[in-house]
Structure 1
Amino acid sequence: MSEPVNDADKTLRLHDLHAFYGKSHVLHGVSLVVKPGEIVSLLGRNGAGRSTTVKTIMGLVEGRGSVQWRGEEILGHPAFDIAHRGIGYVPENRDIFPRLTVHQNLMLGEKCKAKSPRWSCDDMYQLFPRLKERQHTEAGVLSGGEQQMLTLCRTLMGDPDLVMIDEPTEGLAPRIVEQVAEYLKELQRRGLAVLLVEQKLTIALQISGRCYVMGHGRIVFEGTPADLRANAYIRKEWLEV
């Protein structure tokens, strides 16, 4: 099957998306759009449905409705097919291979295809010099921040056009959080789109062009970071603890 190559087609569109864990109805009609080169944040409290949204996009949770990527319906496709179509996913639990080295983990992320990929191991080591220092170290002994860097980089090695990242700053030191923010901005500079699931409002509002807020499996707000800063009701009702 040939893939569209026009950048204008590299848009993710969710329409009336519902998702289920068995008989439990988790998402209730979620609609959102991520355009090429955008950083879009998906915000909300724990249990709001943010992680379920990206897992449903990725084919890991049963859903109904519509998930379109590059103008084609992908809802219900297996995760490997969605990845090959150009969507990368960085899970919250990182999912590194602990007995393999940093370099071996990166190599496992490579997508085999005819054209030259945009990213190489050298690119990853330039983005995160600490990974270069640890490239021959087993991934299981890395710090939490180093494992997060490795997971982000391994996903990039698959040469995606859109990266969905679930809570990348969870449990990280402030210095590493800033590194992750710079990494995400570098992805945008290189033309990738990012759908960011995040609880830290400061980082999300700093780097995002648009934000969605979820509550009880629904989108309850859509707008710019400035719009969200100005909407005290939404922040109090759906974000603040």
Structure 2
Amino acid sequence: MLKIENLHAFYGKSHVLHGVHFNVGQGEIVALLGRNGSGRSTTAKAIMGMVDCTGVVDWKGKHTLGMKPYEIAHLGLGYVPENRDIFPKLTVHQNLMLGQKSAKGGGRWSFDDMYEMFPRLKERQHTEAGVLSGGEQQMLTLCRTLMGDPELIIIDEPTEGLAPKIVELVGEYLKKLKEKGISVLLIEQKLTIAMSISDRALVMGHGSIVFEGTPDTLRADAYIRKEWLEV
């Protein structure tokens, strides 16, 4: 579904990505791993048209480089940024409404689906999003993106700063996406969750992909883990 080839990205004169290449198939969870500063978040932003870049971003046969982020989103790509970006003065329900592509709905996800998946959001649906806990805000951001009915969702550090129980909940949520046939590109630092739910793992270092394989292969590769992942 998603094919990345020879992707280079720039912030002004800074050359951040150096020929990144990988693909994500339908219903596949691919973990994009690496230390801070390795280029993982920039890769996500490049796919979504948020940074200057060259190369090939092919989404279901359509080249998307040069398109606006909202145009890319309407093609079926969802993006959950690391900083969550909720609308703090709007209620939980209003935030979810803003995620819909159409006021008529019609996607594969409904408000009831979101509230069933995360009962805590149902309890707080009339609460302003700005007073939610960090975990609740992460749930809300994930659900708001799903309301746009994406076929592939890019999630940047979904477990950052969350309690262990909420991390487990996020992991279960991602498995449910896969069951629904939705592809996931998961940017994550916590190896435990990434390795337990992913079909394939990619490791980034210095703006390039330095490893691609199964989680089991990565577990067995002590050199890659020490050189590119362990602090």
TM range (shorter): over 0.9
Instruction: Give the Cα separation in 1 of the matches to 2:131 and 2:106.
Output: 32
What residue in structure 1 maps to residue 183 of structure 2?
Answer: 193
Partner secondary structure for residue 230 of structure 2:
coil
> Who is 1:209 aligned against?
199
What is residue 110 of structure 2 aligned with on the other side?
120
* Corresponding residue for residue 128 of structure 2: 138
2-structure distance, mates of 1:103, 1:114: 15
Unaligned runs of 5+ in 2: none
Instruction: Give distance in 2, aligned partners of 1:30 and 1:77.
Output: 19
* 1:62-120, Cα deviation, whole Å (9 max, x unpaired): 10000000111001210000000000000000000000000000000001188821001
* Map of 2:171 onto structure 1: 181
Q: 1:150 aligns with which of 130, 133, 140?
A: 140
2:150 aligns to what? 160
1:172 maps to which residue? 162
Q: Deviations over 1:178-198 (max 9, x none)?
A: 000000000000000000000
TM-score, normalised relative to structure 1? 0.95
Structure 1 segments of 4+ aligned residues over 3 angstroms from their partners: none
- Provide TM-score, normalisation by structure 2: 0.99
Percent pairwise identity: 72
1:191 counterpart letter in structure 2? G
Distance 1:78 1:113 in 2: 22
Q: How does 1:52-71 map to 2 (within 5 A)?
A: 52-71=42-61
Matched, 1:26 2:45: no
**What is the total number of aligned residue pairs between the two structures?**
231
Check if 1:239 corresponds to 2:229: yes
For 1:11-90, what aligned pairs fall within 5 Å after superposition?
11-90=1-80
Q: Which structure 1 residue ranges, 5 or more long, are not aligned?
A: 1-10
Instruction: State whether structure 2 residue 219 is matched by structure 1 residue 229.
Output: yes
Distance 1:92 1:198 in 2: 10
Aligned counterparts of 1:35 and 1:92: Cα–Cα separation in 2: 23
Query: Aligned partners of 1:34, 1:207: CA distance in 2, in Å?
Result: 15
User: 2-side partners of 1:76 and 1:146: how far apart?
Assistant: 34
Instruction: Out of 65-74 and 111-120, give the one that drifted further.
Output: 111-120
**1:105 equivalenced with 2:65 (yes/no):** no
